[in-house]
C-alpha cells in the first residue's frame, strides 16, 4: 500500500506522502537518460540518473561505469560516493558546457558514441578501474546503445542486457539533438525511446496517437456531476458507444451514445457519465464502435478501449476482466477513492485496453494529461526494451503437458472418458514424481489424486488414463463416470509429496492445467481459473459441436494456456486433429550457436529465428536433435520488432527443424525450415528428403565460440545459405562482407578429389557440404582444400564461374569475414597454378603447326616459280583439247 500511496499526486495525497516520506525515499536509482552523440563536437553529452523517490538521496556506494564495445573494457569509471541527487531525484554526469550544470563534469567527447554501454553498480560492489573487463556482479541497471546500425556488441549485450539488442540513438530522427530516454510503458514495465534531450528534468514521454479512439482520463467517485470520461479521437469518428459495467456481476450500469463527427484531426472529447455502479467497488468503462443498441444486441463485440478498476481485485468478475482486457490486471483503487479520484493515461504503451497505463494525476479536461513521474522502480531494469523478452525461453523447462481431455462422453455410462498426457520430447519418458489431480470446481479441492510414478509414456510421448471401455486400453483404468463434467479442472504436477497436502487449490509444482465447464455454467469455476489459469475463460466441451463424441484437444504447446486448446474428435494415443494455420512468409532459422567448434558453454548455445516483425509463432514447434535424442520446444509469442526471435539451450545440437504441430516434426508435419549438420541418419529418418546436410569448415573462425549463420535469405533447407562465424545472438549475422573482398582471375584444372576422377562424380570434403559436378560447387571444394579457410559456395555468389572442356574459368570478387580470411583467400588464389597442364602443351603445338604451315607454303611457291621459268617444248607437244595442268 505504501508504494501505491507514494504514487498519488501531491494535490490529492500530500499529507499521506508526508507521513510515508521514509517509505517513499527508499525507492531505487535508475539510468533515466543517455545522450552520447551530439551534433558537431559532442559538447553536450550526458548520463542522467533518477531516484524513484523523487527526493534528494545520497549516492554513497554507487559506481557508474562506461564500457567500450570494442573489447568490453571499462574506459571511464565514476565513483558516486559523496554525491546526492537533487531535490527532485535527478543527477547529471556530463560535459562542462551542458545546461544545467552537471554534478560531475566531463571533458567534451568523453562519452563514446557506441556500440558501447552505460552500467550502474550498487553499494557493496568491488572497486572498478579503467581497463577492467565487463562485470555483472552488483549490476543495478544498464543500457547498451549504438548510434549507427550494425557493430559488434554481442559481448556487452550478452553480459549486461541478455536477450535484448542494443538501443539505437538514431541521429536522423530529429533536426537538432536527441537522446535515449526511459519511460513508463505500463504498470512496472519500462521502455527506452528516442526524443529531444531533457537533461535534469522529466523525460519527454509522449503517448503515441490512437489508431481510432482511446480513453485518456477518468474521474471516479465523488459527486456525480464531476464524473467524466475524456476520449482522444485520431480519425474521422463514426458513432461510438460508452458503456459502464458493474465489476462484480458484469451487468450494464450506464450507457451513452456518442454521435459521429466529420473532423479527422486528433482531438479530445469529454463526456459526463456516472462511472460507478450502485453499491459496487469495482467496474469497467468500455468504448465500442457503433451505437449502444447495436453493441448490446451482439454477444461478442471487440472493444475499442477499456478500463477495468476495483478496490478488491478478488471480488472482480474474472470473465469480465478477461473479456475486456485479456491478460491484463485491473487498476487497484486506493482508500478514499469514493471522495473522488482522477486517473490519466500516462503509460506510453502503443496498445489499448490496458488499465496499467493509468496513474492518479491532476484532472486536465480538454487539455494534455499532466502525468507525475512514476514512483515505482523498473520491473526489469536491465532489459533495454522495458519488458522481459518472450524470446528468451530456457529449454530445460520443457515438461509434461495435458494433451487431451474428454470429460463428457455420450450415453449415461460415460465409459469412454479419458485424459491424455504428452511429453514434448516425443519419446519414451519416465513419469516419476508426476501427479494427476481431478479438481472440483465448487470446492477448489481435488476429488481424485493419481500418482504416475513408476509409469512411462509410449515411444511417441503419450500416456493415457481413462475409463475401461476406452480403446486403446488406458495405462491407468478408471471406473465409468469418474471424470466430472464441469465446471471442474484437470491439473498436472511435479512434486515429491502429494499436491493435495497443500491448502486450498494446489499451486506449488503445477506443470499444466485445463479448466473446463458445461453449457450454462459460464459464471462458475472462477476460483479454479484464478488459481490455475489466471485471467482465462474456462473451456467448453460442447456436445453439440460434433456428431458423436468430442474432446478438448491441445493445438499449441504453451502450458497453462487455455487458448491452446480446440474442440475436436477424440484421438487417444494419437496426434490431435487441429486446424492448420496459414504458413507465415519469410520465417526461417537464422543462426544456431554452439553447433560446431570447441569451447561450448551454456552462453554460446542458442537458436535464432528470423521473420517479419511481430509474426505470431503460435502453433510452431522447434525440434532439436542431439545424438539419438530429440526435444520439441513449442514456440510462443511473436518475432521481435527487430525481426529476430532467440531461444537459449544448454546442450549440443546436431540438427534443428522448424515445423507446425504440437508433437514431433515427423513425415506428416509441415516443415518450414531445417538445418542438419551431422551424417548420422538414425534420428533423421522422418525428415524430408530435401533437407540439406551441412558440414561447414570451422577453420576460418578464430578460436572460441562458433555458430552456424544464415547469410542468404531465405532459401529453406539450402546448405549453400550457411557459413560458420562468431555468434551474434539478437544481432545481424556476421556474414562475408565486400569490405574484405579480393578480386580473382583464374583458370583452374581441378585435381581429382580422394583419388577419383572429377568428371561425372560427386565429391565430398570432410568440412564441406556434398557438391555435384556443378562448377561453383567444385570450385568451392577446390579452393577450400588449398586454403582451409572456410570457403563455401556462398562465397562465390559474386564470381562468374564457367566450365569449358574440363577447365574452370573464374572472374570476380570473393568476400570474406575478416582481413585474416581475405589474406588466406588472396594467398591461395595468387599461388594457385593456372591451367598448368593445358598451358604447357599449347605453346609447343602452336609452334609445330606454324612451322608446318610455312614449309607447305614454301614448297608450293618453289613449284610455281620453277614451272614458269622452264621453256615449253612445242615440237613434242600434242594437240589436245585438254589444258595442261
Q: What is the CATH number for 238? A: 2.60.40
Residue 559 sits in the same domain as residue 607: no
Among residues 335, 360, 385, the one where a domain terminates is: 360
Residue 403 sits in the same domain as residue 536: yes
As a whole number of angstroms, the distance between CA 568 and CA 561 comes to 17
Residue with cell 470429460: 407
Q: Are 627 and 649 in contact (CB under 8 A)?
A: no
Among residues 195, 222, 248, the one where a domain terminates is: 195
Residue 558 sits in the same domain as residue 417: yes
Residue 735: CB atoms within 10 A of its CB come to 15
368 found inside a domain: no
Whether the pTM exceeds 0.75: the reply is no
881 found inside a domain: no
882 found inside a domain: no
Residue 70 sits in the same domain as residue 157: yes
As a whole number of angstroms, the distance between CA 527 and CA 791 comes to 62
4 found inside a domain: no
Q: Are 529 and 536 in contact (CB under 8 A)?
A: yes
177 found inside a domain: yes
pLDDT of residue 763: 35
Residue 322 sits in the same domain as residue 450: no
Helix (H, G, I), strand (E, B) or coil at 809: strand
Among residues 310, 338, 360, the one where a domain terminates is: 360
365 found inside a domain: no
Number of structural domains (the chain) is: 6
Residue 317 sits in the same domain as residue 225: yes
State in Å, rounded, how far the first CA of the chain is from the last one.
128
pLDDT of residue 392: 29
Q: Which residues pair with 807 in a beta bridge?
A: 804
| Average pLDDT of adjacent 10-residue blocks, the chain of 885 residues | 32 31 58 86 88 90 92 91 93 91 90 87 85 86 76 66 69 74 82 88 84 85 74 80 88 86 62 59 88 81 88 81 80 77 86 86 83 70 36 46 90 86 82 92 92 86 90 90 90 91 90 87 69 84 78 83 87 85 77 65 73 81 72 78 79 75 64 72 50 52 70 68 82 85 74 39 34 57 75 78 70 83 80 52 64 84 74 50 44
Residue 164 sits in the same domain as residue 229: no
pLDDT of residue 170: 66
State which residues form the domain around 294. 213-360
Residue 14: partners with Cβ closer than 8 Å, 6 or more residues away: none
443 found inside a domain: yes
Q: Are 398 and 557 in contact (CB under 8 A)?
A: no
The angle formed by the CA atoms of residues 215, 219 and 223, to the nearest 5 degrees, is 145
Residues 194-232: tens digit of each pLDDT: 888 999 988 888 887 787 888 988 888 777 666 778 888
Residue 59 sits in the same domain as residue 145: yes
pLDDT of residue 639: 87
Residues 792-827: tens digit of each pLDDT: 777 877 787 776 666 777 788 888 888 888 888 888
Q: E strand or H helix at 185, and its extent?
A: strand 179-186
Helix (H, G, I), strand (E, B) or coil at 814: strand
Helix (H, G, I), strand (E, B) or coil at 450: strand
pLDDT of residue 446: 94
390 found inside a domain: no
pLDDT of residue 286: 92
State percent of the chain over pLDDT 90. 16
β-bridge pairing 104-106 and 179-186: unpaired
Residue 409 sits in the same domain as residue 277: no
Q: Are 626 and 599 in contact (CB under 8 A)?
A: no
Listing DSSP states for 356-420 in one string gives GGEEE----TTS---PPPP-SPPTTTT-TTSS--TT--BGGG---EEEEEE---SSSS-TT-EEE
Residue 843 sits in the same domain as residue 824: no
Residue 261 sits in the same domain as residue 316: yes
Residue 352 sits in the same domain as residue 460: no
Amino acid at each position: 500500500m505504501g508504494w501505491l500511496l507514494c504514487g498519488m499526486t501531491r494535490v490529492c495525497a500530500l499529507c499521506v506522502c508526508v507521513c510515508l516520506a521514509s517509505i517513499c525515499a527508499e525507492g531505487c536509482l535508475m539510468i533515466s537518460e543517455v545522450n552520447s552523440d551530439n551534433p558537431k563536437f559532442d559538447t553536450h553529452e550526458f548520463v542522467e540518473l533518477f531516484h524513484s523517490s523523487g527526493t534528494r538521496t545520497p549516492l554513497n556506494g554507487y559506481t557508474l561505469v562506461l564500457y567500450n564495445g570494442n573489447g568490453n573494457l571499462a574506459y571511464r569509471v565514476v565513483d558516486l560516493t559523496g554525491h546526492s541527487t537533487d531535490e527532485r531525484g535527478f543527477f547529471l554526469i556530463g560535459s562542462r558546457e551542458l545546461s544545467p550544470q552537471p554534478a560531475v563534469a566531463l571533458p567534451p567527447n568523453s562519452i563514446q558514441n557506441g556500440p558501447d554501454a552505460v552500467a550502474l553498480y550498487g553499494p557493496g560492489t568491488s572497486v572498478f578501474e579503467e581497463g577492467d573487463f565487463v562485470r555483472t556482479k552488483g549490476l543495478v541497471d544498464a543500457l547498451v546503445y549504438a548510434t549507427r546500425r550494425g557493430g559488434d556488441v554481442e559481448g556487452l549485450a550478452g553480459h549486461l542486457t541478455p536477450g535484448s539488442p542494443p538501443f539505437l540513438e538514431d541521429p536522423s530522427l530529429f533536426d537538432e539533438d536527441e537522446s535515449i530516454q526511459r519511460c513508463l510503458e505500463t504498470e512496472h514495465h519500462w521502455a527506452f525511446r528516442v526524443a529531444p534531450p531533457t537533461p535534469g528534468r522529466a523525460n519527454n514521454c509522449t503517448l503515441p496517437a490512437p489508431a481510432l479512439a482511446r480513453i485518456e482520463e477518468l474521474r471516479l467517485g465523488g459527486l456525480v456531476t464531476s464524473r467524466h470520461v475524456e476520449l482522444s479521437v485520431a480519425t474521422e469518428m463514426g458513432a461510438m458507444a460508452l458503456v459502464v459495467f458493474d465489476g462484480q456481476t458484469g451487468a450494464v450500469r450506464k450507457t451513452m451514445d456518442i454521435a459521429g463527427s466529420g473532423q479527422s484531426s486528433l482531438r479530445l472529447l469529454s463526456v459526463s457519465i456516472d462511472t460507478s455502479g450502485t453499491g459496487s467497488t469495482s467496474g469497467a468503462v468500455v468504448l465500442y464502435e457503433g451505437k449502444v443498441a447495436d453493441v448490446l444486441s451482439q454477444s461478442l463485440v471487440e472493444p475499442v478501449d477499456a478500463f477495468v478498476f476495483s478496490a478488491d481485485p478478488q471480488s472482480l468478475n474474472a470473465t469480465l476482466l478477461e473479456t475486456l482486457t485479456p491478460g491484463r490486471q485491473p487498476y487497484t483503487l486506493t482508500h478514499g477513492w469514493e471522495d473522488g479520484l482522477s486517473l490519466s493515461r500516462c503509460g506510453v504503451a502503443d496498445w489499448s485496453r490496458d488499465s496499467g497505463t493509468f496513474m492518479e494525476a491532476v484532472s486536465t479536461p480538454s487539455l494534455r494529461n499532466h502525468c507525475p513521474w512514476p514512483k515505482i522502480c523498473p520491473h526489469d531494469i536491465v532489459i533495454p526494451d522495458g519488458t522481459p523478452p518472450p524470446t528468451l525461453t530456457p529449454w530445460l523447462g520443457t515438461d509434461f503437458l495435458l494433451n487431451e481431455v474428454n470429460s463428457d462422453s455420450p450415453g449415461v455410462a460415460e465409459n469412454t472418458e479419458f485424459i491424455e498426457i504428452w511429453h514434448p520430447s516425443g519419446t519414451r519418458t519416465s513419469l516419476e514424481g508426476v501427479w494427476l489431480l481431478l479438481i472440483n470446481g465448487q470446492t477448489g479441492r481435488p476429488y481424485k489424486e493419481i500418482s504416475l510414478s513408476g509409469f512411462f509414456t509410449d515411444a511417441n510421448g503419450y500416456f493415457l488414463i481413462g475409463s475401461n471401455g476406452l480403446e486403446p486400453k488406458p495405462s491407468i483404468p478408471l471406473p465409468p463416470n469418474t471424470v466430472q463434467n464441469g465446471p471442474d479442472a484437470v491439473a498436472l504436477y511435479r512434486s515429491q509429496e502429494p499436491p493435495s497436502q497443500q491448502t486450498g487449490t494446489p499451486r506449488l509444482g503445477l506443470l499444466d492445467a485445463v479448466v473446463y465447464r458445461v453449457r450454462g455454467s459460464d459464471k462458475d469455476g472462477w476460483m479454479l481459473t484464478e488459481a490455475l489459469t489466471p485471467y482465462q475463460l474456462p473451456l467448453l466441451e460442447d456436445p453439440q459441436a460434433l456428431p458423436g463424441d468430442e474432446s478438448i484437444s491441445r493445438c499449441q504447446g504453451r502450458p497453462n494456456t487455455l487458448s491452446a486448446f480446440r474442440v475436436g474428435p477424440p484421438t487417444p494415443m494419437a496426434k490431435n486433429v487441429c486446424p492448420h494455420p496459414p504458413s507465415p512468409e519469410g520465417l526461417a532459422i537464422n543462426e544456431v550457436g554452439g553447433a560446431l567448434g570447441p569451447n561450448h558453454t551454456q552462453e554460446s548455445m542458442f537458436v535464432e529465428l528470423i521473420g517479419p516483425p511481430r509474426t505470431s509463432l503460435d502453433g510452431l514447434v522447434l525440434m532439436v536433435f542431439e545424438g539419438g535424442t530429440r526435444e520439441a520446444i513449442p514456440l510462443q509469442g511473436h518475432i521481435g520488432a527487430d525481426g529476430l526471435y532467440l531461444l537459449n539451450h544448454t546442450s549440443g545440437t546436431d540438427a534443428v527443424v522448424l515445423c507446425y504441430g504440437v508433437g514431433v516434426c515427423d513425415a506428416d508435419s509441415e516443415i518450414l525450415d531445417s538445418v542438419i549438420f551431422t551424417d548420422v541418419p538414425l534420428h533423421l529418418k522422418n525428415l524430408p528428403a530435401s533437407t540439406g546436410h551441412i558440414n561447414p569448415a570451422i577453420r576460418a573462425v578464430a578460436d572460441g565460440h562458433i555458430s552456424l549463420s544464415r547469410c542468404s535469405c531465405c532459401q529453406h533447407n539450402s546448405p549453400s545459405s550457411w557459413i560458420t562465424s562468431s555468434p551474434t545472438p539478437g544481432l545481424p549475422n556476421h556474414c562475408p562482407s565486400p569490405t574484405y573482398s579480393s578480386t580473382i582471375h583464374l583458370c583452374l584444372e581441378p585435381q581429382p578429389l580422394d583419388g577419383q576422377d572429377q568428371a561425372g562424380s560427386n565429391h565430398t570434403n570432410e568440412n564441406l557440404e556434398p557438391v555435384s559436378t556443378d562448377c561453383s560447387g567444385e570450385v568451392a571444394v577446390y579452393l577450400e582444400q588449398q586454403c582451409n579457410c572456410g570457403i563455401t559456395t556462398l562465397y562465390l555468389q559474386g564470381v562468374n564461374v564457367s566450365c569449358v572442356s574440363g577447365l574452370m574459368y573464374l572472374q570476380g570478387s570473393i568476400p570474406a569475414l575478416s582481413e585474416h580470411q581475405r589474406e588466406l583467400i588472396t594467398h591461395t588464389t595468387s599461388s594457385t597454378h593456372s591451367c598448368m597442364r593445358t598451358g604447357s602443351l599449347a605453346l609447343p603445338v602452336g609452334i609445330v603447326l606454324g612451322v608446318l604451315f610455312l614449309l607447305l607454303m614454301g614448297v608450293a611457291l618453289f613449284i610455281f616459280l620453277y614451272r614458269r621459268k622452264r621453256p615449253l617444248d612445242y615440237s613434242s607437244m600434242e594437240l589436245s583439247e585438254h589444258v595442261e595442268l
